[in-house]
Structure 1
Amino acid sequence: MNTQQQLNQDQYQGKSNAYLSSSVHAQGVEFAKMQQCIQQNQFKRVLDLGCGAGHVSYHVAPLTEHTIAYDVTPDMVALVCQQAKEKGLTQIQGQQGAAEALPFADQSFDCVISRYSAHHWQHVGQAMQEIHRVLKPHGKVIFVDILGSGQPILDTFLQTIEMIRDPSHVRDYSLQEWMKFAEYAGFKVEEVEKQALHLDFNSWVARMKTPENGAATIRYLQDKVSDVVRQYFEIQADGSFKTEVMYLVLGKTG
C-alpha cells in the first residue's frame, strides 16, 4: 500500500541537497518576520514542521532555546542535523514523523512554523488539530505556502502542473480554505499577507528531478492555456512563472 507519507518520502529522498541550495527555499522576506515574531514574544521552544532542508530552523534557532526540525523524510532530517552541527546550532534537534500525528506532549511549543510543506499533507485539518494540541496557550503558528485560487480556471491549472512535477503534491489551498482550517481547529487569525514567488522553470523541475516527459507536458499546458491563465501566472517564454504565496499567523487563545 502506497500511503501519502510513503509517497512523500519516495519523492524527497535523495533530494535534500537540492533543497538546501535552492534559492527559492533559502531566501525570503518571511524569515525576518518569523525572527521578529519570536523575539517580540520571547518564544523559547519552536517546532519547524515539515522542515525540508531546514532553512526555517537555521534562521530561528539562534533566537530559541530549543528548535525541533521535524519532517516525514528521514533524508531531510539527517541533512538538517548535519548542517546544524556544522553551523554550531546546538539548539536544533531533528525528528522524523508525519504532521498528522505529532509525537509531542500537549502544550510543548511556544511557536510552530511550517513553510512550503502543508500542500503535501494528507489531512491538513487533522494536522491543524495536532498543532493546536502541542501549542502552548497564547502561542502562535506561522504558515508560509503557495496559495491556490478560488477561480477554477486558475486553480485547475496550478494543481495540475504541481502534480505533474511532483506526484506527492496534494493541494495548494485557497485563502478561504485556510480560514476554514484555522477556525475548525480553534485558532484566531492574527495576520494574513500575500507575497509573489517567481519560479525559474528549469530549476523548478530539476529540483524535483521531474522526468523529461513530465516537464514537456507542463510546457504543453502552458502553451495551450487561455490568456487569463497566462497573464495571471505571468508565464514566460522559457516556462518560468509567478505564483502567490501566503504568510499566515494564527494565535491560540488560553
Structure 2
Amino acid sequence: MNEKVKRKISNLENIDRFSAEELFQYLPLNHSDVVLDIGAGAGYVALPIAERVDLVYALDLDEEILNYLQLTAEKRGITNIQPVIANFKDIPLADEQVDIAIASISLHEVKPLSAVLEEIKRTLKARGTFLCIDIEKTADARGPRVSSGDMMKAMENAGFSDMKMTVSPRKLGSEPVYIIRAVKK
C-alpha cells in the first residue's frame, strides 16, 4: 500500500464521526436489506452496517482503499461487503437493487450533484431510503460544500420525498453536519 493511501486511511479513521449506534437511529435496517454505501472509503459506514444486513455494496473510486476495507472486513469475519470500484455518476448496479443508500460526507465534492442523485434513485427500490450526511455550507467553509437547503432541493428534483433534515450535534472538525433522510417516490 502506498504512502498516499496510508495517509488517506489514517485521516479517515481519525475523524470524529457518528458512532454506528448514532447512525442506526436514522436508518430503518432489516436483516434482509441490501445497502449501498456511496463513498465507502475505509468502511466507517459499511463495516457496522454489514453486521446487521444481508449485503453491503461499498462504492468508491479508490481501488486501494476498497482493498483495505476488504482486508479489515476479513479480519473482523465480515463476508457480506461487496466492493464496487466506480464513479458515483455511473453506479454499476441494476435498477431498484438496493433498499437503502447512504452517502456519508461524500456528495459535497460531486458535480453535477443531480447526476449522482439520479443514479442513487435509480438503484433504490420503490420507497427505498436514502440517508445523506454531509457538511453544511457556511461563510467560512473550507473546500466545496452543499448547503442542506440546496441538497434537499436537489434531492426533491431527483425524485425523493418524505425528507427529514436534522442538524447533527456532532461537527466535522469545526464544521456543522446535516443529516437528510428521504424516500424514493
Q: TM-score, normalised by structure 2?
A: 0.89
Q: Does 1:28 align with 2:28?
A: no
Q: Does 1:77 align with 2:66?
A: yes
Greater Rg by CA: 1
Deviation readout 1:34-82 (Å, 9 max, x if unpaired): 434233x555100010011111011111111000111011121111111
SS at match of 1:249: strand
SS at match of 1:181: helix
What is the letter of the counterpart of residue 171 of structure 2? L
Cα RMSD (Å): 1.9
Question: Retained in 1: the 8 A contact 2:152–2:163?
Answer: no
SS at match of 1:118: coil
Question: Retained in 2: the 8 A contact 1:46–1:66?
Answer: yes
Deviation readout 1:10-52 (Å, 9 max, x if unpaired): xx7443431453142xx415x325434233x555100010011
Q: Does 1:176 align with 2:108?
A: no
Matches within 5 A, 1:49-198: 49-149=38-138, 154=139, 157-158=140-141, 161-162=142-143, 171-195=144-168, 196-197=170-171
SS at match of 2:92: coil
Residues paired across the two proteins, number: 180
Deviating beyond 6 angstroms after TM superposition, the runs of 4 or more aligned structure 1 residues are: none
Identity over aligned pairs, percent = 24
What is residue 246 of structure 1 aligned with on the other side? 178
What is the letter of the counterpart of residue 17 of structure 1? I
Please give the alpha-carbon distance, in whole angstroms, between the structure 2 residues aligned to 1:33 and 1:17: 22
What is the letter of the counterpart of residue 197 of structure 1? K
Please give the alpha-carbon distance, in whole angstroms, between the structure 1 residues aligned to 2:162 and 2:131: 10
Q: Does 1:38 align with 2:25?
A: no
Please give the alpha-carbon distance, in whole angstroms, between the structure 2 residues aligned to 1:63 and 1:57: 10
Please give the alpha-carbon distance, in whole angstroms, between the structure 1 residues aligned to 2:15 and 2:149: 29
Question: Which one has the bigger helix percentage?
Answer: 1
What is the letter of the counterpart of residue 39 of structure 2? G
What is the letter of the counterpart of residue 10 of structure 2? A
SS at match of 2:137: coil
Cα gap change, 1:130/1:77 in structure 2, threshold over 3 Å: closer, same or farther? same
Q: Which runs of 5+ in 1 are unaligned?
A: 1-11, 163-170, 200-241
Q: TM-score, normalised by structure 1?
A: 0.66
Please give the alpha-carbon distance, in whole angstroms, between the structure 1 residues aligned to 2:86 and 2:5: 14
Question: Retained in 1: the 8 A contact 2:107–2:134?
Answer: yes
Please give the alpha-carbon distance, in whole angstroms, between the structure 1 residues aligned to 2:28 and 2:64: 28
Please give the alpha-carbon distance, in whole angstroms, between the structure 2 residues aligned to 1:14 and 1:120: 21
What is the letter of the counterpart of residue 251 of structure 1? V
What is the letter of the counterpart of residue 104 of structure 1? L
Deviates more, 1:48-57 or 1:186-195: 186-195
SS at match of 2:153: helix
Please give the alpha-carbon distance, in whole angstroms, between the structure 1 residues aligned to 2:114 and 2:130: 14
Cα gap change, 1:86/1:19 in structure 2, threshold over 3 Å: closer, same or farther? farther
